[in-house]
């Protein structure tokens, strides 16, 4: 699978995960989001993507959903931290969708 961003071809895995994490950009995130059936990246989408990327940079691993919900609750409040809220923005959730859009590595056991 591939994505084209600014005239450059970016290689993705068969399932749409970024192969080279250094190639991530916001423009690529928008393309990956389209593949994930997210027609538009809103501020709410970007908040989740940015938090996921920040957690990864600080911890060297993707956040578990429960941990991520706690982070979101502390920063954005109860209404923007539930799994239901995250699924409303990312159809297959944090692990399969938001992390993919954020250009993070595929977690173990995730298809």
Q: What is the CATH number of the domain that holds 39?
A: 1.10.10.370
Confirm if 38 and 91 have CB atoms less than 8 A apart.
yes
Number of domains in the chain: 1
Percentage of the chain lying above the pLDDT 70 cut: 97
Residue 21 is assigned to a structural domain of this protein:
yes
Q: The domain containing residue 39 runs over which residues?
A: 2-101
| Residues involved in catalysis | 110
Residue 66 is assigned to a structural domain of this protein:
yes
Higher-scoring residue by pLDDT: 74, 108: 74
Residue 36 is assigned to a structural domain of this protein:
yes
Kindly report, residue by residue over 16-65, the tens digit of the pLDDT.
Answer: 999 999 999 999 999 999 999 999 999 999 999 999 999 999 999 999 88
Kindly report, residue by residue over 87-101, the tens digit of the pLDDT.
Answer: 999 988 877 899 999
Residue 17 is assigned to a structural domain of this protein:
yes
Question: What stretch of H or E contains 3?
Answer: strand 2-5
Q: Is the pLDDT of residue 111 over 60?
A: no
Q: Is 64 left (phi over 0), alpha (psi -120 to 50) or beta?
A: beta
Residue 48 is assigned to a structural domain of this protein:
yes
């Amino acid at each position: 699978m591939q994505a084209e961003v600014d005239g450059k071809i970016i290689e993705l895995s068969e399932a749409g995960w970024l192969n080279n994490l250094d190639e991530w950009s916001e423009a690529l995130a928008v393309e990956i989001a389209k593949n994930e059936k997210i027609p538009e990246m809103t501020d709410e989408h970007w908040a989740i993507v940015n938090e996921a990327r920040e957690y990864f940079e600080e911890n060297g691993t993707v956040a578990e959903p429960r941990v991520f919900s706690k982070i979101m609750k502390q920063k954005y409040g109860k209404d923007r931290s539930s799994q239901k809220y995250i699924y409303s923005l990312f159809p297959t959730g944090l692990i399969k969708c938001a992390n993919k859009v954020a250009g993070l590595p595929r977690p173990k056991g995730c298809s």
